[in-house]
Amino acid sequence: MSIDALSPSRRRWVTLITPIVSILGLLVIWALAVQLFAIPAYVLPSPWAAFAAIVEDRDAIGRGIVATGQVFALGFVIGAALGFLLALVMSASPLLFRLLYPIMIVSQAIPVVAIGAALVIWLGFGLAPKLVVVAMIVFFPVLVNVLDGLRSVDPDSVHLARAMGASRWRTFVVIALPATYTPLFSALKMSATFSVTGAILAESLASTTGGLGVYLSTMQGRFNTAGVFAAIIVLASIGLLAFLLISLWESASTPWRRASIVPRRRRMLPRTRS
């Protein structure tokens, strides 16, 4: 049975339960692989050992979550805001678009590790270089997707709105801005997972204390595989939580997409008497 054929309440439950079942299935496969293939703990610990390491190092991991969460959240907001604003400016000026777009593409060809090393030299071992690294990871996907959304706006709809007396601002809010929602949220959801990686990379380059990146490097240096996987689980949880929050934001911002989903049900034909 297709999920679209379910009632709205059942569809929400299926949407909620399916990823939970998938994650639990992944943990079961992980545990079975360790047991069946007799993998040593220093190569691949069991998931229960990784969770035990989280409980054992909960103080250090808790401080790391706060530090990394700050870098992730601030860098994500800065990168998304700058990408969105620059996309608006570039879409309004074809000349500026032709001048800046090639530069944006070239900037993405530079490895983040190289940029991070240069940022440490320029900005030191503080919060600033870490925020820049995370913001750069979010910036380009948001810029490109919002530009695509703005360039897909139907010109006839804009001309019709202006002919009916709508101001430029009203035309933008009613016609142009909704066209950016779908590509924008796609970029934000994709960047939510990449930003966690960027935060860890930035911390490994520009941090001396605190942060899950430092904790991960410390556990790796001690050959503590359970601690390494404990950090991986926590980082994956942060990325998943960010993805879910953005998905909820998308659902609240685009109510017309929910209303357009009509359950497909089989029509019961009346029985005919023979």
pLDDT tens track, the chain, 274 positions: 555 555 666 766 766 788 788 889 999 999 999 999 999 999 999 999 999 999 999 999 999 999 999 999 999 999 999 999 999 999 989 899 999 999 888 888 888 878 888 888 888 888 888 999 999 999 999 999 999 999 888 888 888 888 888 888 888 888 888 889 999 999 999 998 888 988 898 888 776 667 898 899 899 999 999 999 999 999 999 999 999 899 889 988 888 766 554 444 444 344 444 4
Contacts of 74 (CB under 8 A, 6+ apart): 127, 131, 134
In this structure, the number of other CB atoms found within 10 A of the CB of residue 82 comes to 16
Environment class of 209 (CB within 10 Å of its CB; exposed 0-12, middle 13-18, buried 19+): exposed
What b/e sequence results for 221-252 when a residue is b if at least 16 CB atoms lie within 10 Å of its CB, and e otherwise?
eeebbbbbbbbebbbeebbeebbeebeeebee
pLDDT value at position 274? 42
Q: Take residue 140 and report the two structure tokens written for it.
A: 């380009």
pLDDT value at position 12? 66
pLDDT value at position 173? 87
pLDDT value at position 35? 93
Give the phi and the psi of residue 223 in degrees, each rounded to 5. 55, 35
Q: What is the pTM of this model?
A: 0.84
pLDDT value at position 202? 86
* Residues shown for the chain: 274
Tokens 């005919």 sit on residue = 272
Q: Take residue 259 and report the two structure tokens written for it.
A: 């209303």
